[in-house]
Amino acid sequence: MTTIGFGDMTPSISGDEADEKSLYMLVCTVYILVGLAFTSTIIELVRRQYAESWRKMQELRAQIQAQLKLADTLKKLSETAEKNNVDIGINIADDLEELKNNLNKFKNSKLGDQFGDVDIQQLDW
């Protein structure tokens, strides 16, 4: 077995004072089991928190990707309307520029590290 930090005292049941040693062995076993349970509980709590954070980050990433696709579609719609001399009554360019600025602010924040593959400068709105 192990000495678990008590020096030369070991949990064995042979020899003199068998009742005292068997009680000591029981206490050591309970001590080890409680320590393992405590350690595994902490590890499980950290794992759950990490999984929740990862899920939220993936949802946020999907929302940003959807906004980028929407912005690209609006840009194409605006260009098509401009070619055909159609006035759609809104200024999409200002909205797209505001979206680009907001994405840039988010990317520069501490949460924006996960979005390294999204290049804000290549968006030519």
Average pLDDT estimate for 65-92:
75
Q: Rounded to whole angstroms, how far apart are CA atoms 103 and 95?
A: 12
Between residues 125 and 42, the one the model is more confident about: 42
Tally of CB atoms within 10 A around 22: 13
Task: Say what the pTM is.
Answer: 0.45
Task: Name the pLDDT band for 122 (thresholds 50, 70, 90).
Answer: low
pLDDT at 125: 47
pLDDT band for position 13 (50/70/90)?
low
Contact criterion met (CB below 8 Å) for 21 and 15? yes
Consecutive H or E run containing 18: helix 18-83
Buried b (16+ CB within 10 A) or exposed e, 3-19: eeeeeeeebeeeeeeee
* Residue 77 in this model has a pLDDT that exceeds 70: yes
Give the mean pLDDT of 88-102: 70
Q: What three-state secondary structure class fits 33?
A: helix
